[in-house]
Structure formats: structure tokens, C-alpha cells
Structure 1
Amino acid sequence: MTQPLVVFVDRATIPSQIHLPDLAFGHQWVSYDSTSPDQLSGRVQDAEIIITNKVVFDAAVLARLPRLRLLAVAATGVNNIDIDYCREHGIAVTNVRGYATQSVPEHVIGMMFTLRRNLMAYHQDIARGVWQQEKQFCFFTHPIGDIAGKTMGIIGSGTLGQATAKLAEALGMHVMFAERKGRSDCREGYSPFSQVLQQADVLTLHCPLAEETRNLISSEELEMMKSDAILINTGRGGLVNEAALVDALSQGAIAGAGVDVFTQEPADQSNPLLANQHLPNLLLTPHVAWGSDSSIQKLAGILIDNINAFMCGKHQNRIV
């Protein structure tokens, strides 16, 4: 009996130092660092199991894969998969959850301190020789804010939102969870969306990207925020209107922003954030909030466990 073919189409999305555990069943294994759209069909034509992180599998691609039984997504988000097609055609889809509950919240806190204390701006001033010009043992060209006693607004109350809340509370912050935008009544433990925007000193996003959350934060929402507030997005790029964010930062509508995710990745100079990356109140990182070594190793273990479970007939981390 022919062993099932397992193809990992974008292995380079997981750092090379991360060990992928062995699968617990006989199989053929093929791995590619990356796969472009024009390479995809030829590489996975005979695959029964496909591992993907960010490679897109839409209906047109899936229709050409008659042997496919499982799409194992090496991430939490599955917006690169046509879930409806998979459901209709009996293709299982799994994802990986709960692996970055330390890494992402710590990244948020790191961005928060960097922006609140204007560390980027002071670094740039030293590089420009401002310290030498001032001729003092220190200089204060940018405000330095404390965190204790401030309010963190969190949009998204899942595992990552809750873990971020715990760190914020440990630092002496008051935490508010935002109710869904447009909802008139609030669930217990939530505050109205607009109220959270108006009261938050730090607003952090941890909700999924869907049609109802695309451009969740745009000009109108940014105008609701305090002028000394900061926005942090480690969720999905499409949650924030990037051009509106640059305008808000340039005009002083908000004090700063930390962005780890972009509408298109990798982002290029056509992205307003990259075009304005030298703003002293804008901190950019390349979608790495999730990526501590310990988190990625945990992801790799869950990914392989999902595939082993599927082959044993178990429903583990199944989307479909």
C-alpha cells in the first residue's frame, strides 16, 4: 500500500533551529522553503496531507487536488484557506492554537514600554547628536510616561487577550475589554467599544480578521482615542486602516503605535507604514510577536500532533 504523501509548502516560515517531531505513521515527506502560486499545483498534486502556514489554498487550487484529505495549517489564522470549499468537499482543516500565550503578550508589553517611554525617539536623537548639543548629563526632548495606573483597552478576549490582560494588571494597569463594535448591549465584563477607545491609554488588538473586523480601527476610531494614547496591533494587518494610522500619528491625534502585522506581508514601500517608518512614534516589527523559540517549538509539536490525531480518526484542533 502506497504511503501517504505529506508536503510542507512553506517550511521557511518556521526557523531552521526549530525541530519538527517525526510523524507517527508511515509516509512520504516533501518540504519546500517557500512555494509561489505558479509552483503550487505541481508540487502538491498527489499530496494527501498538506502543511501550510501562509500559502493560499482557494477553491481554484483545491479543485485540482483530488487526493487531498487534510490541510494542516501551521498557524492559528486560516484566512488563507477556502473553508467553505473544504467543508463541502470533505477536506479536513486543522490549525494550531494556544502556542504563543507568552510570546505575543510579552511583545505587546515590550512595545508598550518602548512607545510610552519614547525609547525609539531618544535613540534617534542620540544618533543625530542631540545629546552632545545639549551638553547635559541627560536631556528631555520627548515625554516619558509611566504605565502603572494607566488603562489598557483590549479588543479580543481570547487566550492572547486574556494573557495580555494578566501582564497589564501585574504592572498596575486597569484593564477594559471592548464589546463588539456596533453592539448596543454589553456582556458581563465588557465595556462599550467606543468607551474603551475613549478611555484607553493603551489600546491593543487581539481579534481575528473577518469582514466585520476589517478596518476596525480607522480615522473615526482614531479620533475617539486620547491624544496621548498608543495603539498596538499584533493581531492582523487588516484590522487597522494603515493610511489613517499614519495620518493620526503625523497629526498628533494619538501619541504612538506599535505594529507587528500588515495588510500585505512582506510589506513594501507602497505600504504607508513603511513609507513613514522614520516617524519617532511608530514602532514596526515584521510579524514576529508570536515567534519566540519556545512558542514556535510548541507550535511545531501541536502541528504534528494534529496530523497524527487526524490519521487516528480523532478530531483535534479541527476547523472543518
Structure 2
Amino acid sequence: MQIVVLDGYTENPGDLSWDGLEELGDLTVYDRTPTEFIEDRIGNAEMVITNKTPISRETMKRCPDMKYIGVLATGYNVIDVKAAEEQGIIVTNIPTYGTAAVGQYTIALLLELCHHIGHHSQAVHDGRWENNIDWCFWDYPLIELAGKTMGIIGFGRIGETTGKIAAALGMQILAYDTIKKETDVAEYVELEELFQRSDVIVLHCPLFENNKEMINRESISKMKDGVIIINDSRGGLIREQDLADALNSGKVFGAAVDVVSTEPIRGDNPLLTAKNCLITPHIAWASKESRERLMSIAVENAQAYINGQPIHTVHA
């Protein structure tokens, strides 16, 4: 059986192994696949593994031997799932692999906004402490989180993990989700109440058409002055110009985002020049431990398909 990985580099830049997939068939791994080469590289392969390389209805028609698409991520919007169902192609994703990593990263972003540790460390290395008239200095307000309220939009596995860590720091946790589950971590509230009561707002929800740019001028106006906004979910949840304006006016004290609307980020993204905005390059998921879990689940998905009992399938 021919197996093709179209864009394996971000999952495995060299510190993991593809052996699990190699044991299942004749494996070819490409680090990256430009759009114009997608169909040629799929060729006659029955199993195709992709992360962010799109597979369209047209590609499926032109690659009729393709029977399985394994997405190396939880999100699968790069696949025309409806077309796959119509053509009898199984599509699978990787659930739950990054829960601990993303929850931890969310808190790391928040703590960096509260203390700007990297900035102050660099200031010391630049000689500012050595030459300072006082025994200490700081360039940003230093924020204590105990007693403050975190509102989490999207309270699935990752949202609850973030909430548990924040609660351990002494924060009160509010949650908004369309599906409510039993939890002793958070108080469920409606979205408008979450906006009004939260000192910190964290986005942990998928991106759908009905929540696209949910963080915008109108919703920000309902928030507390000096609110902090964290997003390591999907960039499209934020109208970036509106957030930049709120940061520059001081309505929003600070923001930290690991995702933006177009990735890689474009040079004209307004958040690049906004005040007190941390931006990291979509790496919340990317700890080695998280990627090892992802690889293991990808192999399990492929093996289950070969056995005729596919798991973690997704549908339109």
C-alpha cells in the first residue's frame, strides 16, 4: 500500500520517527508540498496524510486511488469532507493530543503579559540593572492574578485544563460553551456576562461561521477596562484591527495570541504594531510530548483503517 505524507516537517522536523507508518506500507514523506504539486505527489497512493496542505474535491477526482485521508491535527477544514464522503474516502483527525500542552501554553502567555519576564531579563542583559540608580526597576505594571476572574470561551478538554491551572493560581473561573458538562472548576454563564465580569478572557473554541470575529469592537466595549485577551485557538475568532485599536487606546491592557487570521502572519497585520501585544508563531501545540502523542494516534488511525474499522473519523 502506498502512503504519502504531504507536509510532515512541522509534525516531525527530525526529532521523531516515521517508523510506525513505514511499517504499514510504502511510505513517502515530503516536508512541504506546494499547491501545484499536490496531485502529482499523491499519485496512486491509497493513504494520504496531511497537516495543512489542502485536499479539494477536484484533487479527489484526479486521484481516484485515494481512499483515506489522515489529518495530522484536530482541525480538518483543509479537507473538503463533504466531497470525501460522496466519493467514499475516509477522513480522520487527531483529537485530544495537545490538551496539556495548549493549556500550559495559555497560562505561559498570560504570565508573560503579567510580568514581561523576557523583556526584563533582556533589560538586565543589556546593562540596565547594572547601571540603575535603584535596586530594582520595572517597565510594565506587574499583575497578580489571585482574586481575578478568568472567562474561558469554549470549555472542552483544553478549556477545562486551562481553568484548573488558573484556579490553582487563585483565579475565579467563568465558562461559556454551547455544551455544558459537569465541572467543579467553573461557573457557566452567558457570553455577555462573561465579557462583563472577566479580567482575563481566553479563547478555546473552534472557529465556525457563527463565531467568526466574535472579539470585535462591539464585544470589546462590553468588557472591563484593562481586560487581558488570550487566543491560542483560531485567529479568525478576532477582528484584528478592532483588537489593535482597543490595545492602542488602553481599553484592552494586553493581548497574547498564538494564532492570527492569515498564517504565516502578514507584515500588514495590525497586531504587529499594537501596544502590549505578544504574538507567537502557532506553537502552543508543538511540545515534543504533544507531537509524540499526535504521531502515535496518526499510526493508530491508519492501522484501524487498514483493519477495516476506522476510528476518529470526521464528517461534513
Partner of 1:13: 10
TM-align CA RMSD: 2.2
In the superposition, the TM-score normalised over structure 1's length comes to: 0.90
Shift of 1:235: 0.3
Q: 1:173 aligns with which of 168, 171, 178?
A: 171
Q: Distance in 1 between matches of 2:314 and 2:177?
A: 25
Partner of 1:313: 308
Shift of 1:99: 0.9
Question: For the Cα contact (< 8 Å) 2:155–2:177, is it kept in 1?
Answer: no
SS of the equivalent of 1:93 reads: strand
Partner of 2:218: 220
171-180 vs 302-311, greater mean Cα deviation: 171-180
Shift of 1:270: 2.3
Is the alpha carbon distance of 1:219 and 1:128 closer, same or farther for their aligned partners in structure 2, counting shifts above 3 Å? farther
Shift of 1:49: 0.6
126-135 vs 137-146, greater mean Cα deviation: 126-135
Q: Deviations over 1:102-146 (max 9, x none)?
A: 110110111111112243554576688765775111124422111
Shift of 1:26: 4.8
Partner of 2:267: 269
Question: For the Cα contact (< 8 Å) 1:214–1:240, is it kept in 2?
Answer: yes
Shift of 1:190: 2.0
Question: For the Cα contact (< 8 Å) 1:5–1:28, is it kept in 2?
Answer: yes
Shift of 1:226: 1.6
146-155 vs 120-129, greater mean Cα deviation: 120-129
138-147 vs 245-254, greater mean Cα deviation: 138-147
Partner of 1:292: 287
Q: Distance in 1 between matches of 2:38 and 2:159?
A: 35
SS of the equivalent of 1:212 reads: helix
Is the alpha carbon distance of 1:91 and 1:130 closer, same or farther for their aligned partners in structure 2, counting shifts above 3 Å? same
Unaligned runs of 5+ in 1: none
Q: Distance in 2 between matches of 1:220 and 1:121?
A: 32
Q: Distance in 1 between matches of 2:192 and 2:254?
A: 19
Question: For the Cα contact (< 8 Å) 1:101–1:159, is it kept in 2?
Answer: yes
Matched, 1:207 2:205: yes
Partner of 1:60: 58
Which structure's relative contact order is higher, taking Cα pairs within 8 Å and 6+ residues apart? 1
Q: Distance in 2 between matches of 1:127 and 1:269?
A: 29
Matched, 1:76 2:71: no
Q: Distance in 1 between matches of 2:222 and 2:313?
A: 39
125-134 vs 227-236, greater mean Cα deviation: 125-134
Unaligned runs of 5+ in 2: none
Q: Distance in 1 between matches of 2:211 and 2:261?
A: 13
Superposition map of 1:79-90 within 5 A: 79-90=77-88
Identity of matched residues, %: 36
Question: For the Cα contact (< 8 Å) 1:74–1:96, is it kept in 2?
Answer: yes
SS of the equivalent of 2:252 reads: coil
Q: Distance in 1 between matches of 2:302 and 2:176?
A: 35
119-128 vs 133-142, greater mean Cα deviation: 119-128
In the superposition, the TM-score normalised over structure 2's length comes to: 0.91
Is the alpha carbon distance of 1:302 and 1:179 closer, same or farther for their aligned partners in structure 2, counting shifts above 3 Å? closer
SS of the equivalent of 1:255 reads: strand
Partner of 2:193: 195
Q: Distance in 1 between matches of 2:221 and 2:305?
A: 48
Question: Which amino acid in structure 1 is aligned with residue 246 of structure 2?
Answer: A
